[in-house]
Chain A
Amino acid sequence: MSIWVNAETRVLVQGITGREGQFHARQCIAYGTKVVAGVTPGKGGQYMDEVPVFNTVKEAVRETGANCSLIFVPPTFAADAILESIDAGLPLIVAITEGIPVLDMMRVKGALKSSSSRLIGPNCPGIITPGQAKVGIMPGHIHRPGNIGVVSRSGTLTYEVVHQLTLQGLGQSTCIGIGGDPINGTNFIDCLKAFQEDPETKGIVMVGEIGGSAEEEAAEFVKTFVTKPVVGFVAGLTAPPGRRMGHAGAIISGSSGTAQAKIAAMEAAGIAVVKNLGHLGELCKEIFSKAT
């Protein structure tokens, strides 16, 4: 078991003919992911290696039965690409693109509310169920199939965490990067809930960073609903202060947002928070070996 993606997931890649899209579509295929279609407006009828390219998402879905979109479209057009996938009714949309304007994401968020699509990202590494499907840009070889669910706001920091888990012999059920942007599709709570309900997931690692209040809200959720052991990490204890926006930022976020506040909220919820990233793997081994 796993959450959201598995060996049966049929992936279409939006922006498959671009440099990054092409490179990572090939990497996903090499990992064993079923990449069934590509979409690049104006390049319909062509092929990227063995993968047929279509002009529109709807056409690609109709012809190939794709049920998941992976987006590499540049930030200028990325929101439109996400909206196109929502409109085509894709259940899962993974947006890798970094630098999408906040207002564009607000419109996407509004469109998501009245749809049944789940968006992961943007500005994220994607989602992987080790040994089954890699829908993203993470290096596949550092993962191992197993029982630990990983959810993170970061990209490369997630790789570091996964790498340490694997070195300790702790495989992963599914790893999700939810993205570092202020407004994203799937949040910590969505992932924690799915991991809690997934019988194969025995323990959860949650990786946060400064800014916003997503970690504090997630901690509240863990306290009430999560019975599986959770290990946490928050990046940014030494981040420079004062990078804030006028009074309004302080008014709306209050004291939340600092690494200290997040760590305190997570510890109060019973999450084992690691302070030294270098020791995360060892601590996970200690905590999860009791549970798994």
Chain B
Amino acid sequence: MKIHEYQAKELFSKYGVTVPRGGVAFTAHEALEVAKTLGGYPVVLKAQIHAGGRGKGGGVKLAFSEEEVKQYASELIGMRLVTHQTGPEGKIVRKILVEEGLPIVQELYLGMLPDRRTGTIAIMASLAGGMDIEEVAAKEPEKIITVNVDPLLGLQPFHIRQFVYGLKLSSDIAKAFTTMITNLYRLFIDYDCSLVEINPLVITSDQRLIALDAKVNFDDNGLFRHKDILAYRDLDEEDPFEVEASKYNLNYIKMDGNIGNMVNGAGLAMATMDLIKLAGAEPANFLDVGGGASAEMVENGFRIILSDPNVKGVLINIFGGILRCDVLAQGIVEAAKKVEVKVPVVIRMEGTNVEKGREILQQSGLNLIVATDLNDAAQKIAAIAKS
């Protein structure tokens, strides 16, 4: 789960990590109120969306007067912000963060995330922070110091020394850095984070270390033990189809094509989408009904696919393991009775209780096209896409 920068900074403050003074604003009027409390100019206005690259996309403004705060705030709120992480459709800005401007002398980078290769937490830091950190990583990887921390051992002083000496931090900054990284590591562990990132982490002219930006993502699988974090969820930032799907524990991602598909298992779902594409059609979605799907989940998945007006046909590909074919067939039949199915549906199933499943489909009296194997299914669905 993702949260906004201003929410991440709330968490940072809770953990003693220094952030710029400021507050969130939903209107230009509120932005001005926040700016007045900061006691001077310039102030920074930052669009709050769940995507990076905001600076380059024009979502960050520096205001030197009350007039500029009002002007920029009204420009930002409501704008469609396009960055390299939002896709071409961009995201609507609904709120901004208004913060004090700081006299910056250096921009650093600090990031923590699980490293799947080693099964540890990778902590990365660099003196080359700022907007081009990904380019630095690609072209000058030696400028980034990476330390792997085994959570069984925890963050140790020797880990931190690798950053302090590697980055040649002054003793004042080293002290602040040690406190900050210790607190951030605690936050990461306490909240099952999948990412904690500060870019840039700045040193000011009066030698303070401040998290100018804040990005925190959470491991969805860990959310059951962090009910307080669920309050941070912003449904405006999520695709409405995906929100609907998540209510039923379905893994759905909307795409641009016109062939809906419902598959059990993420790997087979991706392979089925690839197959649709190879057959000359475009998938309208990714939908994994999961291993332990019930007839009700299948029914809801079916409903979500059919609510996308672009869908011209649906391919259902189920290989029964945990999900038995008879359960699936029951779900399809129940859904088809409740939802008005106006598009052709090709069904391919194999595995546990497949005969029982096919029997249920055939006896349903519904117009379902049964495919014999994957190639047959792909050809049948491609023919529908072309018709």
Contact = CB atoms under 8 A, between A and B. Distances in A.
Contact of A163 (B197, B266, B319): B319
B280 interface: no
Contacts of A254: 137-138
A246 to B, nearest CB: 5
B165 interface: no
B10 interface: no
B124 A252 contact: yes
Interface string B295-328: 0000000000000000000000011111000000
A24 B291 CA distance: 13
B114 A157 contact: no
B113 interface: yes
A165 interface: no
A102 B219 contact: yes
A227 interface: no
Nearest to A138: B321
B113 A240 contact: no
A139 B270 contact: no
Interface stretch (A48-56, A57-65, A195-203, A273-281): A273-281
Given A98-B290, A107-B152, A246 B219 contact: no
Nearest to A187: B117
A290 interface: no
Given A212-B117, A247-B134, A159 B111 contact: no
A159 B221 CA distance: 26
B350 A163 contact: yes
Q: Secondary structure of the B side of the interface?
A: mixed
A102 B194 contact: yes
B322 A20 contact: yes
A167 to B, nearest CB: 8
Interface in A225-275: 233, 235-240, 242-252, 254, 275
A180 interface: yes
Nearest to B272: A277
A246 B197 contact: yes
Interface string B254-276: 01000000011111101101111
A142 B350 contact: yes
Interface string A139-150: 100100000000
B85 to A, nearest CB: 6
Contacts, number: 197
A237 B283 CA distance: 12
A160 B290 contact: no
A241 B373 CA distance: 29
B21 to A, nearest CB: 24
Contacts of A104: 222
Interface residues of B, number: 72
Nearest to A209: B267
Nearest to B219: A102
Contacts of B266: 154, 180, 209
B278 interface: yes
Given A155-B265, A156-B264, A277-B274, A240 B255 contact: yes
A102 B191 CA distance: 11
A127 interface: no
Which of B52, B253, B271, B351 neighbours the largest number of chain A CB atoms within 10 Å of its CB?
B271
Contacts of A235: 267-268, 270-271, 274
Contact of A210 (B117, B265, B270, B352): B270
Interface string A198-222: 0000000001011011100100000
Given A103-B151, A154-B266, A183-B119, A250 B137 contact: yes
Which of A98, A106, A138, A243 neighbours the largest number of chain B CB atoms within 10 Å of its CB?
A106
B134 to A, nearest CB: 5
A236 B269 CA distance: 9
A125 interface: yes
Contacts of B119: 105-106, 109-110, 183
Interface in B166-194: 189, 192, 194
A252 B265 contact: no
A142 B351 contact: yes
Nearest to B117: A213
B133 interface: yes
A288 B156 CA distance: 51
Contacts of B134: 247, 250-251
B163 to A, nearest CB: 15
Interface string A105-121: 11101110000000000
A236 B111 contact: no
Interface string B342-379: 00000000111000000000000000000001110010
Contacts of A157: 265, 267-268, 271, 319
B291 A155 contact: yes
Given A106-B119, A248-B112, A277-B275, A160 B268 contact: yes
B98 interface: no
Given A154-B267, A239-B273, A251-B137, A139 B286 contact: no
A280 to B, nearest CB: 9
Contacts of A239: 270, 273, 286
B74 interface: no
Contacts of B121: 106
Contacts of B277: 237-238
Contacts of B217: 245-246
A217 B276 CA distance: 29
B192 A246 contact: no
A76 interface: yes
A249 B253 CA distance: 20
Given A156-B319, A160-B271, A182 B116 contact: yes
9 contacts: A20-B292, A101-B192, A107-B151, A110-B151, A158-B267, A214-B117, A240-B286, A248-B111, A276-B278
Given A159-B321, A246-B52, A246-B217, 9 more contacts: A24-B322, A103-B114, A156-B267, A157-B319, A163-B319, A214-B116, A236-B274, A237-B277, A247-B137
